[in-house]
Amino acid sequence: MPGAVFTFYSYKGGVGRSFTLANIAVLLARWGHRVLCLDWDLEAPGLADYFRDRLPRRPDGGVVDLVADFRQGRFAPETHALRLKDVGALDFIAAGREEDGYVGQVQEIDWEVLYEDGFGEYLDKCREQWAANYDFVLIDSRTGISDIGGICTAHLPDHLVVLFTANRQSIRGATDLARRADAARNLLPFDRARLTVLPVLSRFDNREEYDRSETWRRIVVDETAELYRTWLDQTVEPATMARHLTLPYVSYWSFGEQLPVLSEQTPSADQIGFALETVAAVIACRLDRTDLLAENRDAYVAAVRARRQEFRHDLRVSTPRPAFETATELVTELEARGVRAVKSLSGDRSLLARVEDDARHLCLVVDGKVSRWQAAEVELFLHRTLGQDRRVIPVLTPGTEPTALPGYVGNLRYLRLSGTRGPAEVARDLVAQLKGLTPLVEADDDVDLATLLGQARGARLRPSRWDLVDELVTALQPAVGAGDADRTRDLATDLAVAIKPRPPNGDTHLAAPVKLRRSIDWLLSILEARARTTTKPNHRKDLG
């Protein structure tokens, strides 16, 4: 998947735009993403000051040198990037050289003439290279209304992050700019999806004047509600999301250019790092799965943080006390086959206290029934699993009936212990599943889910029909994520019917909404990642 370009914009200065971008860039890089930051505030550059201590040297080129390269017929945007030290894969392109001649270099630029000469096409090639080499490209834009602002807010981004403070001038300036940018984007000679806008209330102080702060929260939601319409989950109220997208005013961090996310490793709810993590997680998800954020913020952020983490263990084996010895043998057999396994006993409360999980997959040893503790463990595991290749694999003891188990376990592929199949044989089959030799979602002779999703993505349907497709795709996400083969197959069959071409009957047929296309792309990426199978799928759920 190509990288996403986010422009950070504020109508007025003093809202903490560069501060927010710099800290979010560091968080994304620490979470394992490849990140590029560009200081496009050419008239008042300052992003470099946040990175000063981690730059290998002073910038000797930058954004303005892209113009010089264009005029000289040279294409090498990567030469202007500097890699920061000790924060992961975070590159930075400054506004330009830090020398006296920089001001004159900026003043000589005539953006209108440049675009007439083809600079727009040149810049689009830069954008393509950045999107190919990085997961996230973050652009620090000029405040107010300007030619540079138009480049940053209409031409380059996939998403626009607008920051504002609690006053009408700041709010309306930001929302008006978002509308103008979307309109200008439609006039571009480049293929771009509709611009999605992430409104962030910044420097908000609700500690001293609580009543006044709540009044202004309502004003903010009223003024920005339309910006959520193209991406916010239908089950989530804008007021709920607005609270998650609020950066508090903390006087300590208002002095100098600082990166609190480096010192607040596990921030509490009253620290600014906590709010910065939330906004960074929304960006990392590309504004998707906001229903999970509304339900459980900590689980949402932990799942995003862990998406590219290196797990200490390959598999956690959860067992009730009656099956303890069997689970111990199973862990021993798994370790003998090179699997880093760890055992958890029902009642291990330390699991609930951890912000992140330390095992990639979860194996449930089910003895007759799923215990309440195991049910909570599965729920916690799934909360932490957002867009990741992580599996829940039940192992049933002799006499355990899958039909009597709750659907979130009974519908999964399971392995069975028996008189002739002990921990050694089950461990062998578990290793096969973990290596991808057994597909998570069973194929169907009549319905190929990946093909079907591709057809849905390219279909043209009535708006009411798209509502139905959206419901089905939303239901498919947890089904595919949990490996619920039967549920996946049922939903796929319904989806095939929903997208079946029908006569127009005078109704308007539209392409898939942007948010739905993103959901389909997420599903396709999961199916692609899990299609590494070297054996023909076994159509029996009981693999033992």
In Å, how far are 1, 39, 194, 406 from 381, measured between CA atoms?
25, 39, 34, 16
- DSSP E strands in 205-352: the ranges are 246-248, 313-319, 341-345
Q: DSSP labels for 327-352?
A: HHHHHHHHHHTT--EEEEETT-THHH
pLDDT computed for residue 439 by the predictor:
45
- Note whether 431 and 456 are same-domain residues: no
Is 443 inside a domain boundary? no
Which is nearest to 313 in space by CA: 343, 352, 346?
343
Is 50 inside a domain boundary? yes
Is 542 inside a domain boundary? no
Distance of alpha carbon 364 from alpha carbon 421, whole angstroms: 17
The CATH number covering residue 123 comes to 3.40.50.300
**Residue with structure tokens 């889910």?**
449
> Which residues of the chain register pLDDT less than 50?
355, 439-446, 532-541, 543
Single out the residue in 272, 306, 340 at which a domain terminates: 306
8 A C-beta contact, residue 11 and residue 4? no
Q: Which amino acid is at 307?
A: R
Single out the residue in 283, 306, 329 at which a domain terminates: 306
Is 457 inside a domain boundary? yes
- Note whether 233 and 366 are same-domain residues: no
- DSSP E strands in 21-154: the ranges are 35-39, 82-83, 90-93, 136-140
Domain that holds residue 212: 4-306
- Note whether 299 and 335 are same-domain residues: no
- Note whether 134 and 199 are same-domain residues: yes
- Note whether 258 and 288 are same-domain residues: yes
- Note whether 214 and 233 are same-domain residues: yes
Q: Is the dihedral of CA 383, 388, 390, 391 positive or negative?
A: positive
Distance of alpha carbon 387 from alpha carbon 289, whole angstroms: 10
The CATH number covering residue 347 comes to 3.40.50.10140
Q: Work out how many domains the chain is built from and give that number.
A: 3
- DSSP E strands in 358-453: the ranges are 359-366, 392-396, 415-416
- Note whether 429 and 467 are same-domain residues: no
- Note whether 117 and 35 are same-domain residues: yes
In DSSP terms, 197 is beta-bridged to: 160
Distance of alpha carbon 52 from alpha carbon 60, whole angstroms: 14
pLDDT computed for residue 391 by the predictor:
83
- Note whether 182 and 260 are same-domain residues: yes
Is 541 inside a domain boundary? no
8 A C-beta contact, residue 513 and residue 466? yes
Largest Cα span, the chain:
83
- Note whether 250 and 383 are same-domain residues: no
* 385's tokens: 């699993």
Distance of alpha carbon 377 from alpha carbon 370, whole angstroms: 10
Which is nearest to 396 in space by CA: 426, 374, 439?
426
8 A C-beta contact, residue 8 and residue 140? yes
Give the ranges where 55-118 is alpha helix by DSSP (H).
63-71, 101-107, 111-116
Torsion angle defined by CA atoms of residues 128, 133, 135 and 141, in that order, rounded to the nearest 10 degrees: -60
8 A C-beta contact, residue 530 and residue 440? yes
Rounded to a whole number of angstroms, the CA Rg of the chain reads 26
pTM of the entire predicted model: 0.64
Is 544 inside a domain boundary? no
* Apex 196 CA angle, 190 and 200, nearest 5: 135
Single out the residue in 286, 306, 326 at which a domain terminates: 306
- Note whether 339 and 399 are same-domain residues: yes
